[in-house]
Chains A and B, each alone.
Chain A
């Protein structure tokens, strides 16, 4: 390892820990959100360094991109209510601090012991995945695991996303921003330029997922970013979660996925056991449905259920 690489590693690792500490210790919620966005960015760089470009992509899209907006929207909600803003009080009492410090030290020791106790080479399932890639519907190992070997897990994850939307909607709706204020011309111009690129990139990421890092989660997040930009700029029609079409689209990924599972089950191969030759097509169909669903899920989480026009009445 060269000296430059070592310096890069040290800098990344130390600044990540420092950022995490500053985020937790930030006296204001807004400061914590901005630090968290920066944390997401550094985290993506760390994943890139750890040779995990798939996770780096997801972290860049979700951690550094969308989470910031969701948190800012939540903060705006908190500030709209009177004195709902929780006061951040520092921990009092030296005994409590001592106990916490000891707990943290104990956890650190355990983790270090676990890390040192790893057999060499560390346990990995790569040896089982790679020889079977030829028969899978995707040549990229991560996609093959997510949508072929362990497709069942992914199916349930999508169901969880839908549940998250239902839970968020049950908490009431807070359309952002105030629908009466339309974005400035500069903002609208920017969104008009950016939007086609975002949609194109989302399509590119899904397609690329078949044979390289990429896939529905990253693509869906980019799509959601485009949708939220539309809402923020006031260019798009307000999102209306009560409309049957939006609800159908929200559930479409789960429908397609379940449909494929049932179809393969009826064909006799077992649920999500794709027939030979059809794997790539089926996975692409599922990924496209998932992209739409994941994109809409984020938009629905951001916008809430109610139509903004309804709120005005």
Chain B
């Protein structure tokens, strides 16, 4: 069971790395930002799996913070972006 959870976490981590490619390549600012947003969701999933696998209940609180704050950067990006950003 533990190995299964860890393998699932590993898979999620690999999807994060796949998303990183989009962050590096772009081409538009929105592409980069949306990929970073996706990490928030994958990060929540990874942390919940690791909390179960390593019996670390505190990691669920880390996931909670991720879930709450992930939206912050996106809202700031939409609201603060000026014409000509990239």
Closest beta carbon of chain A to B41's beta carbon, Å: 11
Query: What interface size band does chain A fall in?
Result: 35 or more
Closest beta carbon of chain B to A89's beta carbon, Å: 18
Given contacts A44-B43, A48-B47, contact A56 B68 (CB under 8 A): no
The reply to whether A4 and B69 contact each other, CB–CB distance below 8 Å, is no
Stretch in A206-214, A237-245, A263-271, A276-284 touching the partner: A206-214
Q: Mark A220-241, 1 if CB is under 8 A from B, else 0.
A: 0110010011001100000000
Asked if A60 is an interface residue, CB under 8 A from chain B, the answer is yes
The reply to whether A45 and B86 contact each other, CB–CB distance below 8 Å, is no
Within 8 A of A (CB), among B54-86: 56-59, 61-62, 64-66, 68-73, 75-82, 84-86
Report whether over half of chain B's contact residues are helix, strand or loop; otherwise say mixed. Answer: helix
Size of interface on B: residues with Cβ below 8 Å to A:
50
Distance, CA A79 to CA B80, complexed state (A):
10
The reply to whether B32 and A4 contact each other, CB–CB distance below 8 Å, is no
The reply to whether A222 and B68 contact each other, CB–CB distance below 8 Å, is yes
A-side contacts of B6, CB under 8 Å: 2, 4-5, 8
Within 8 A of A (CB), among B3-53: 3, 6-7, 9-10, 13-14, 16-17, 20, 23-24, 26, 29, 32-33, 35-36, 39-40, 43, 46-47, 50
Asked if A164 is an interface residue, CB under 8 A from chain B, the answer is no
Interface set of A (CB-CB < 8 Å, partner B):
2, 4-5, 7-8, 11-12, 15, 19, 22, 28, 30-31, 34-35, 37-38, 41-42, 44-45, 48-49, 51, 53-54, 56-57, 60-61, 64-66, 68-69, 72-73, 75-76, 79-80, 176-177, 183, 187, 190, 194, 197-198, 201, 205, 208, 212-214, 218, 221-222, 225, 228-229, 232-233
Could you jot down 12 A-B contacts, CB within 8 Å? A15-B20, A30-B32, A31-B32, A41-B16, A45-B50, A56-B58, A64-B40, A214-B58, A221-B65, A225-B68, A225-B69, A233-B75
Interface set of B (CB-CB < 8 Å, partner A):
3, 6-7, 9-10, 13-14, 16-17, 20, 23-24, 26, 29, 32-33, 35-36, 39-40, 43, 46-47, 50, 56-59, 61-62, 64-66, 68-73, 75-82, 84-86
Further pairs besides A4-B6, A222-B65: 7, Cβ < 8 Å: A4-B7, A15-B20, A22-B20, A34-B32, A37-B73, A57-B61, A57-B65
